[in-house]
């Protein structure tokens, strides 16, 4: 049987005034039995001793949706690297070492 062509599904932004696009270079992840929470922030480094993160969005999803996100992120990462080459990440960031960064919310 011939392979079926997979159609590319595209999600387009809405014109809704509540829609937000932001840049995140930091994300904190927490979970409960019922959901995963992704706390997105923009980390700003003034110098080694002055690092702060401005949190701007929290996205919550079910464990099932989080697992699907992981699968699709992996697929897209592999596709990206096949086109543009391996993404280099310093070993200390991959090792699981964490850094405590003070996170401010817009309310603060």
Q: What is the pLDDT of residues 66-103, one digit of tens each?
A: 999 999 999 999 999 999 999 998 877 777 656 565 55
Q: What was the pLDDT predicted at 48?
A: 75
Mean pLDDT of the chain: 82
Strand partners, 50: 47
Flag whether pLDDT at 3 surpasses 50.
no
> What DSSP letter does each residue of the chain carry, written as one string?
-PPPPPPPP-PPPP--TT------SEEEEEE-SS-EEEEEEEEEEEETTEEEEEEEEEEEE-HHHHHHHHHHHHHHHHHHHHHH-PPP--HHHHTT------EE-TT-
Q: How confident is the model at residue 2 (pLDDT cuts 50, 70, 90)?
A: very low
The model carries a pTM of 0.69
């Amino acid at each position: 049987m011939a392979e079926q062509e997979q159609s590319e599904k595209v999600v387009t932004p809405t014109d809704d005034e509540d829609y937000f696009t932001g840049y995140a270079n930091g994300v904190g992840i927490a979970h409960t039995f019922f959901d995963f929470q992704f706390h997105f922030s923009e980390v700003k480094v003034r110098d080694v001793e002055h690092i702060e993160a401005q949190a701007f969005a929290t996205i919550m999803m079910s464990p099932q949706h989080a697992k699907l996100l992981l699968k699709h992120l992996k697929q897209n990462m592999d596709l990206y690297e096949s086109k543009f080459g391996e993404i280099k990440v310093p070993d200390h960031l991959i090792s699981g070492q964490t850094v405590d960064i003070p996170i401010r919310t817009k309310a603060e």
